[in-house]
Structure 1
Amino acid sequence: MPPLNQKYFVSNTIYLKLKSSITLSPKEKATVYFKAPIDIGVVLYKDDVNTIIDRITLTKEKYAIYGPIENGLICRFYITDVHHEEPEITMGEAVVKVEIDNVSNYFIELSKIVIPVEGINIFYKGERAHYGLFKVNIETPDSISIKYVKEVKIPGFYRTPITVGQFKEHLKMEWGAN
């Protein structure tokens, strides 16, 4: 399940800090992969209803604010490498596939990305987990839109039977990505 703190709902986003930034030329597209944290949900299945009764976190939980301290977004914080093919993951991590489209006339350097995880599908196959596909559309250095593609299926993977929270299709990175 996405790393949403069920008892307190601290955050419904993940702030991925990139170990090395991604530089895109004007009008350039790129497909990259990241690792991101997931939690293991303890679920009670009764009378055709799944109920989350607890969660287990296998990675160290850290939080950060994306944007100004006064009105920024509280996010689960995770440091990740940029991969050009699906990376190997450990228990407690999931693969995030991101298609980036720099439609702007600017050279863009991405050193972070904030993804919405409330209400999204998680896919699994044995111990491998996958968040699915996010599309990043860069219109200007300060106008970056993140969209989760809910209808994507990952071949050979199963979709988790439940999602957590209300799905939010778009997230605007209004404070930039550098």
Structure 2
Amino acid sequence: MFGAHELKTQFIKVGGKKIHLIEESENLVRYRRDEVERIIKNNGEKLKILPAPATGYGVRLLMIKFKEPLVVPPQDSLTGFIEAPIEIDVKIGELTIDHFIVGKEKYALYGTLEAGVICRYHISPFYAEEPDSLGVAKLTVSNPSLEWESLERVVIPIWKTPMYYESSRAYYPLLIVTIRDNVPYVNNTGKPPKDGLNAVGEVLSLPNFLMRW
């Protein structure tokens, strides 16, 4: 699925979508996905199918609500995984020839009506082990305080975030949430959540995000 593919007749399944490549002549290949079609001159370059952050219509934040709130003891931490929506870039060289969303597209208001922002929205269980999902984020929740803390959701900065992938799964960078004075600070570290993954984009940490609401 993710990675490089020969420009030859084949089906490539990505989530619930299908990409169909059809060799129409010795050096012309038709790309088809739903109603999208492209004619590609085959010069030996491979087609790349890559994960992209779930920015939808240009949002900068992704809100993941946990199915069950997380409860963390004083001066302790909890590490696990959540499902996260992704989008797909299809490229030849550095040219994007197609971009699409997989799964359901949902949005929510983060903050107040007067000062809030629209963000991508998803509900996920919290997993102790990596789930069998198309998009995954590894999350560490740290509670350095002397009191028990609870976390019902995490709001993640995703604008221009790097992404990581292996053949069948995409990953957001490692996320670290630190709860100070009952306020979560979210750090998209830019780092891969595990070894051996391929990177998309510039591997940089994003500025910390303060979850005021």
Superposition pairs for residues 1-178 of structure 1, below 5 Å? 1-5=52-56, 8-9=57-58, 11-45=59-93, 50-89=94-133, 93-141=134-182, 143-152=183-192, 154-160=194-200, 162=201, 168-175=206-213
**Which stretches in structure 2 are left out of the alignment for 5+ residues?**
1-51
TM-score (norm: length of structure 1): 0.82
Superposition misfits of 4+ residues, deviation over 6 angstroms? none
Unaligned runs of 5+ in 1: none
Q: 1:151 to 1:81 in 2, by over 3 A?
A: closer
Sequence identity (%): 29
**Structure 2: how far apart are the matches of 1:53 and 1:75?**
26
**Aligned-residue offset at 1:153:** 6.2
Do 1:100 and 1:136's aligned partners in 2 also have CA atoms closer than 8 Å?
A: yes
Shift in CA distance, 73/133, structure 1 to aligned 2, threshold 3 Å: same
- Rg larger in structure: 2
Q: Deviations over 1:95-114 (max 9, x none)?
A: 10111111123321111111
The 8 Å contact of residues 84 and 122 in structure 2, kept in 1 or not, is answered as: yes
Q: Which has the higher contact order (CA 8 A, sep 6+)?
A: 1
Provide the TM-score with structure 2 as the length reference: 0.70
Q: Could you tell me how far apart the structure 1 residues matched to 2:69 and 2:88 are?
A: 29
Aligned partners of 2:144, 2:193: CA distance in 1, in Å?
26
Q: Residues of 2 paired with 1:157 and 1:19: CA distance?
A: 28
Shift of 1:167: 6.7
